[in-house]
Amino acid sequence: LQVWRSCLVECLATGAFVFASILIIVSCSQQSASPMTSISVLHFLVISFLILSVAPSSGGHLNPCITFMAMVLGYVSPSRVVMYTGAQCIGSIFGSLCMKLVLPHEVAHKFALGGCTIRNSAGAGFPVGSAFVAETFFTFFLMFIVATLALDPFRAPVFGAILAPTFIAAAVGVLVFVSGGLALGYSGAGMNPARCIGPAVVMGSHNEELWRGHWLWWVAPYFATVLVAVVYCLVPPHHVDIYRGRKDFISSLKKAFGSHHPQVPSETRISSENLTP
């Protein structure tokens, strides 16, 4: 029952995020000739508020890649990953459908319902290879911050339940800002498969550019997430503890092979735990 409740929270939160995201993109694009600053700042605020609101109930993933990363690091089970991903995609479709009902048809068609596009209807945009590389590195940057600040057992208590979501939302805002102006017709970094599938499903065949290369918005983020997991497992951020453990291991080897050293009086002995790494 707890898992189903968490899935419901993820569904509603993702729906609210997609609804707000589309509204931000359409509103800012119509009001300003250079909307990326406003879009990135507003995304930062919306994501921060949503994660802080729903994190106690479901973890506040709002992204299948974050859920997958949590499974790789041992926080959630594979079955929960499947359920969360389905809930996030359903929430995205629901939020996109609600936004389509709010917007006039010509506005929704003009802005492709704020969806993820590689090229526009005129053919301007990124080649598939360039878009794949860009999406991989943008998602890698975001997932690396998620893994090292929010999911790492050593550093998560340091940043706490407020700073970690704030930094993650700030990273999303920065990446949205720097990627949004790379090429005309390119919507910018998606970094979230659920965010991209909602507008594509709701608009259907009315906006073919949403389905052109849609696989990229799934394959590239998951590929980047796997890369982050490999890097995190090979070079964990808590390297000081690794060095300390290595030192203890060497000391135990010396004791095992009978290496003796003059005893230091207890008054002058310094504990290794008091040394600053």
Say what the pLDDT of residue 239 is: 60
Q: For residue 41, what are the CA distances in angstroms to 4, 21, 132?
A: 33, 11, 25
Is 266's pLDDT higher than 60?
no
H helical segments located in the chain? 2-31, 36-58, 64-72, 78-102, 105-110, 128-145, 156-180, 193-203, 216-234, 239-256
Structural tokens at position 254:
């010396």
**Each residue of 128-158: pLDDT tens digit?**
899 999 999 999 999 999 998 888 887 778 8
Burial class (CB in 10 A: 0-12, 13-18, 19+), 229: middle
Say what the pLDDT of residue 250 is: 55
Is pLDDT larger for residue 152 or for residue 100? 100
Q: Which domains, and CATH codes, for the chain?
A: 3-239 (1.20.1080.10)
Is pLDDT larger for residue 65 or for residue 183? 65
CA 148, 151, 157, 159 torsion-angle sign: positive
Question: For residues 226 and 228, what is the distance between their CA atoms, to the nearest angstrom?
Answer: 5
**Each residue of 37-95: pLDDT tens digit?**
999 999 999 999 999 999 999 999 999 999 999 998 888 899 999 999 999 999 999 99
Question: Lowest-confidence range among 45-49, 183-187, 261-265?
Answer: 261-265
Mean pLDDT computed over 95-121: 90
Question: Lowest-confidence range among 140-149, 203-212, 219-228?
Answer: 203-212
Question: Lowest-confidence range among 105-109, 127-131, 180-184, 199-203?
Answer: 180-184
Say what the pLDDT of residue 253 is: 58
DSSP state of 121: T
Q: Which residues contact 247 (CB under 8 A, 6 or more apart)?
A: 272
Say what the pLDDT of residue 258 is: 61
Residues 219, 165: contact at Cβ < 8 Å? no
**Verdict on whether the full-model pTM lies above 0.85:** no
What phi-psi label fits residue 125: left (phi over 0), alpha (psi between -120 and 50 degrees) or beta?
left
Closest CA to 151 of 228, 225, 73, 229: 73
pLDDT band at 240 (very low <50, low <70, confident <90, very high): low
Say what the pLDDT of residue 209 is: 84
Is pLDDT larger for residue 11 or for residue 209? 11
Please give the span between the terminal C-alpha atoms of the chain, in angstroms, as a whole number. 45
* Phi, psi for 52 (deg, rounded to 5): -65, -30
The proportion of the chain whose per-residue pLDDT surpasses 70, expressed as a percent, equals 84
Mean pLDDT computed over 15-39: 91
